[in-house]
Amino acid sequence: MKTREPALASFGHERDEVRSMMSFRAAFEFYIRAKEAVVAAGFASELDWQERLVLERVTEQDFLREQAWVVLSSGMRGTVVAGVFGEISAAFRGWDVARIREDVEGCSSRALNAFCHPGKINAIAENCRLVVDLGLESIKRELRKEGPFWLTRLHYIGPVTCWHLAKNLGLDVVKPDRHLVRMAQASGVMDTTRLCEVFADATG
């Protein structure tokens, strides 16, 4: 029996490696099919937009718009957010910092008429105030230094949604949503960032 134990252990290790390789291959093939489905559904422009994003080119208007989108998206379907976002953007003066600064309360009041969720609307307004107070360049410096978790200082942005916002602001990070987490676990990679790095290497 003693002579068989190392062999069995070796076999078990090799079997686990094979399973891991098969799981990763399945995850990668699923990713390819999912990307093709996204493009076929007419969302190629979304992929192109994400590819072009860089923090250096983000404006105050971009920042305010994206924080609002992520705040509204928390616990809510994207289609619902998309349905009200135009009205909320109009309520907040098209995310024009100077115009918002002059009438934050009025912006909030108009936005509540379009979307009656005081918690989220007030969070968006407070985040606008924060950007005005700190200045965008200061925020960018902090983001480069501290990474996505700095964004948890914003209202209604937590340790998960900060990754969503960071990605939408052009940081090279992965939003660890439940789909990617499950895929990473199933493939044996166990980390969404590493999974996406491997996918990126595989696709060039």
Does 60 lie in the same domain as 19? Answer: no
133-165 pLDDT, tens digit per residue, is 999 999 999 999 999 999 999 999 999 999 999
Mean pLDDT rounded to a whole number for the chain: 86
- Report yes or no on 48 lying in a domain: no
Domain range holding 133?
A: 53-168
Does 81 lie in the same domain as 13? Answer: no
Residue 7 has pLDDT above 50, yes or no: no
Q: Which of 47-51, 83-87, 100-104, 170-174 has the lowest mean pLDDT?
A: 47-51
Does 119 lie in the same domain as 34? Answer: no
pTM for this structure? 0.78
The pLDDT value recorded for residue 57 is 95
170-191 pLDDT, tens digit per residue, is 999 988 777 778 877 877 776 8
The answer to whether 185 and 177 are in contact (CB under 8 A) is no
Confidence of residue 21 (pLDDT cuts 50, 70, 90): low
The pLDDT value recorded for residue 31 is 80
91-106 pLDDT, tens digit per residue, is 999 999 999 999 999 9
The pLDDT value recorded for residue 190 is 66
Does 117 lie in the same domain as 61? Answer: yes
Does 89 lie in the same domain as 10? Answer: no
The answer to whether 195 and 184 are in contact (CB under 8 A) is yes
Instruction: With CA atoms as reference, report the closest residue to 90 among 107, 76, 77.
Output: 107
Long-range CB contact pairs, 113-116, < 8 A, 24+? 114/84, 114/87, 114/88, 115/72, 115/84, 115/87, 115/88
The pLDDT value recorded for residue 16 is 52
- Report yes or no on 134 lying in a domain: yes
Does 72 lie in the same domain as 126? Answer: yes
Number of domains in the chain: 2
Does 130 lie in the same domain as 74? Answer: yes
Does 181 lie in the same domain as 109? Answer: no
